[in-house]
């Protein structure tokens, strides 16, 4: 865990995709303490003329944007860790994206351990089997 979906404005760019995945993966490890082998990331691009903020397209505004959804197991991170993650993700994306619009979102989803998992097993099951 976790599973991350990143939407980036603009046309697909392999270099930007790689830099974004590397940056987000690193912050997910260092700030949230997640283990690399179970961090899954999907990146999708949305054209600037199909992304709107305040009723105006990013193409009209001359801006870029991102939206990051991250699902983690509930109660595995503190409020302070989550707040730091929000700050550091936004700062990192501002460094990667030209003219980043302030209205770029991070959505951290605290999923119940019994309702979330991978490999056919819930996180609750993994927790119980670990004897923690």
Instruction: Write the pLDDT tens digit of every residue in 20-78.
Output: 999 999 999 999 999 999 999 999 999 999 999 999 999 999 999 999 999 999 999 99
Which residues is 100 bridged to in the sheet? 64
pLDDT tens per residue, range 1-19: 799 999 999 999 999 999 9
The H-assigned helical ranges of the chain are 14-30, 58-61, 79-96, 123-130
Cα–Cα distance measured from residue 12 to residue 9, given in angstroms and rounded to the nearest whole number: 9
Coil/strand/helix, residue 113: helix
CA torsion sign, 116 to 122 to 125 to 131? Answer: negative
Q: At what angle do helices 79-96 and 14-30 cross, to 10 degrees?
A: 160
**Greatest CA separation for the chain:** 55
Segment 73-88 mean pLDDT: 96
DSSP designation for 73: E
What is the per-residue pLDDT for 126?
87
State in Å, rounded, how far the first CA of the chain is from the last one.
Answer: 17
What is the tally of helices (H) and strands (E) in the chain? Answer: 4, 8
Domains of the chain, each with CATH number or no CATH? 3-130 (3.30.429.10)
């Amino acid at each position: 865990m976790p599973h991350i979906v990143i939407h980036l404005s603009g046309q697909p760019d392999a270099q930007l995709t790689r830099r974004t995945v590397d940056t987000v993966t690193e912050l997910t490890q260092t700030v949230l303490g997640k283990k690399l082998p179970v961090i899954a990331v999907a990146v999708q691009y949305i054209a600037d003329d199909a992304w709107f903020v305040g009723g105006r397209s990013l193409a009209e505004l001359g801006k870029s944007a991102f939206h990051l959804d991250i699902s983690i197991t509930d109660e595995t991170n503190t409020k302070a860790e989550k707040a730091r993650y929000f700050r550091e993700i936004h700062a990192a994306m501002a460094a990667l994206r030209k003219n980043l619009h302030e209205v770029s979102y991070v959505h951290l989803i605290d999923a119940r351990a019994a309702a979330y998992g991978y490999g056919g097993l819930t996180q609750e099951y993994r927790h119980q089997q670990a004897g923690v």
